Amino acid sequence: MPPRPRPKATPATDYTPSGLPSDHHLVRLGAPQGSNQFATEIAGQAKLVDMPARVRRTAFATRGAFAIVQLYPASKDRVAGEIVHVVTGAEVKEWRKAGEWPKAFDEAVAAEQSRPLPKADDDDSDDSLPENTNRRKRVVHADSSSEEDSDDE
């Protein structure tokens, strides 16, 4: 008998930036901090948010992705809240068309993209790099006696 099919996870469409409850915030995820926790910035303060298993199974979150976060009531813990929903690209597009997407996120993305890239050195020397000890050294033996023997014939 085949296993029972798992219910398909449907994206939460009831979330909109203008219709969020007071304890929910739309944030941009920062660097992952391990144990399914991400650094974020909420109201100008750096916070750590947790990604629970129910969200982990249905969505994939990376640095720079947008998410809806529910903050915990005032607590002294390092973790300030949990990710309720990871915003997909289709939702961002839909919210931009509807005019509900916060302008602050557009400006932040534009500022990152317009930042000049660091100049690369034209010199391809690797003098400043330490020797890679994980590679075997190749020793090339020049066998000059065999070359001399072939010339004598």
pLDDT band at 10 (very low <50, low <70, confident <90, very high): very low
User: Nearest Cα to 68, choosing from 51, 87, 92, 49?
Assistant: 87
**Residue 19 confidence (pLDDT) above 70:** yes
pLDDT tens-digit profile of 85-96?
999 999 999 999
d(CA 111, CA 80) in angstroms, rounded, equals 27
Residue 29: per-residue pLDDT? 94
Q: Per-residue pLDDT averaged across 138-142, rounded?
A: 76
Q: Per-residue pLDDT averaged across 67-76, rounded?
A: 86
Q: Which CATH superfamily is domain 17-114 in?
A: Nucleic acid-binding proteins (2.40.50.140)
d(CA 134, CA 120) in angstroms, rounded, equals 26
Residue 26: per-residue pLDDT? 93
Looking only at the bridges linking them, the beta strands covering 66-71 and 45-50 are unpaired
pLDDT band at 124 (very low <50, low <70, confident <90, very high): low
Q: Per-residue pLDDT averaged across 6-35, rounded?
A: 78
First to last CA, the chain: 80
Could you tell me which residues come within 8 angstroms of residue 49 by beta carbon, excluding any fewer than 6 positions away?
A: 27, 29, 37, 38, 40, 67, 69, 79, 80, 81, 82, 83
With H, G, I as helix, E, B as strand and everything else as coil, classify residue 19: helix
| Helix segments in the chain, DSSP class H | 53-56, 89-98, 103-114, 144-152
Domain assignments of the chain as residue spans, ordered by start: 17-114
